[in-house]
Amino acid sequence: MIKAGIVGGTGYTGVELLRLLAQHPEVELAAITSRKEAGMPVAEMFPSLRGRVSLAFTTPEEAPLKSCDVVFFATPNGIAMQQTRELLEAGVKVIDLAADFRIKDVAEWSKWYGMEHACPELVAEAVYGLPEINRAAIKQARLIANPGCYPTAVQLGFLPLVEAGVIDTSGLVADCKSGVSGAGRKAETHILYAEATDSFKAYAVAGHRHLPEIRQGLARMAGHDVGLTFVPHLTPMIRGIHATLYGKLKKDVDLQALYEKRYAGEYFVDVMPPKSHPETRSVRAINTCRIAVHRPQGGDTVVVLSVIDNLVKGAAGQAVQNMNLLFDLPEQMGLTQIAVSP
């Protein structure tokens, strides 16, 4: 059994990790920390876990993190970078669900995240945990930078086109829609029920922190910089990201075949039949990304629709997928639930 610890377990990413790890046949939950809620049983804060998770929150100091096999950081940005070195030195593998190790250019990271980086050398070591691109490296890693939610949906959506070099990468558009859980479990006015329901809006059009992460990923696929306009929107639903991606084709190509071939054998990527419109609820609570590719009116604009559950493939599920790779377990272990629909 893998002993797993979670640092910062009171957010939506934390409770989703608990849901998945508690059902994982090879994991033993060893510790979950929250300075603020120390002493409170996890199932008292999250009644959905009653009878299934008996742990209580502890302070980070009291938690037996160093004797874990793997520690997940489900913390705000800037925490994992403070504590990772010590854990790695103790032989613990680390999966950071925040952004601390995602951006290779540390100066760029500092610009977007508004703080200095505490351990730039670990950024260099960290492996970006998108298994469909980086599987081999992940298996060898001891530190995983778990991708952001938007970056997962957008990169998986663009990947076949960019890798194959069939799209003009100078003017890509990613129009993305996220459920409200993506904003976290923080007491903030703008995500109150009466503010966020029955309404729709864009946000951060001037620049969202996931922009450099997506650009970095696409550039790596392309072999050169890309031009990307990324507009996120807040959608009145709990979970789900729907990325609608636009680009100009540079050459005629069988798009459906391209996607099916690229993702053949990928358990967590479902290329849907031509003319499909994936809906976010078809991946509710599961680790799958469903993709459909379109070429409206046979023109040279390609439209890709890519949906994930932001808390699963966009966070906790992908982290478990990475953990499986780190410990040489079957990649889908503990992640074979069927989507809850309706």
- Binding of residue 313 to a second copy (CB under 8 A): no
Beta bridge partners, 27, equal: 2
Of 298 and 328, CB closest to a second copy: 298
For residue 307, the minimal CB distance to a second copy (Å) is: 8
Token pair of 68, please? 């874990």
Of 164 and 191, CB closest to a second copy: 191
- Binding of residue 25 to a second copy (CB under 8 A): no
Binders of a second copy among residues 119 to 148 (CB under 8 A) are: none
Region binding a second copy by CB under 8 A among candidate stretches 143-151, 202-210, 255-263, 318-326? 202-210
Asked if residue 127 lies in contact with residue 145, where contact means CB atoms within 8 angstroms, the answer is yes
Strand arrangement of the beta sheet that strand 27-33 belongs to: 27-33, 2-7, 70-73, 93-96, 143-145, 127-128
Query: What is the per-residue DSSP string for 55-106?
Result: -B-B-TTTS-GGGSSEEEE-S-TTSHHHHHHHHHHTT-EEEE-SSTTT-S-H
Asked if residue 247 lies in contact with residue 218, where contact means CB atoms within 8 angstroms, the answer is no
User: C-alpha 340: how far from its chain's center?
Assistant: 19
Q: Count the neighbouring beta carbons within 10 Å of the beta carbon of residue 80.
A: 30
- Binding of residue 203 to a second copy (CB under 8 A): yes
Among 7, 196, 221, 315, binds a second copy (CB under 8 A): 196
Provide the mask over 38-77, with x wherever binding to a second copy is found by CB under 8 A and - wherever it is not. --------xxxxxxx-------------------------
For residue 41, the minimal CB distance to a second copy (Å) is: 11
User: C-alpha 175: how far from its chain's center?
Assistant: 17
Among 142, 294, 327, 333, binds a second copy (CB under 8 A): 294
Catalytic residue among 68, 119, 149, 289: 149
Of 38 and 237, CB closest to a second copy: 237
Among 39, 140, 201, 264, binds a second copy (CB under 8 A): 201
Query: Which residue from 167, 280, 342, 319 is spatially nearest to 334, judged by alpha carbons?
Result: 319
d(CA 318, CA 222): 23
Non-local CB neighbours of 151 within 8 Å, separated by 6+ positions:
102, 130, 210, 213, 214, 217
Of 57 and 101, CB closest to a second copy: 57
Binders of a second copy among residues 2 to 21 (CB under 8 A) are: 12, 15, 19
Among 1, 205, 250, 330, binds a second copy (CB under 8 A): 205
Q: What angle do CA 234, 240, 246 make, to 5 degrees?
A: 75
Among 115, 199, 223, 224, binds a second copy (CB under 8 A): 199
Query: Which residue from 114, 119, 116 is spatially nearest to 88, judged by alpha carbons?
Result: 119
For residue 236, the minimal CB distance to a second copy (Å) is: 5
Provide the mask over 218-257, with x wherever binding to a second copy is found by CB under 8 A and - wherever it is not. ---------x-xxx-x-xxxxxx-x-x-x-x---------
Q: Any catalytic annotation for residue 149? A: yes
- Active site members: 149
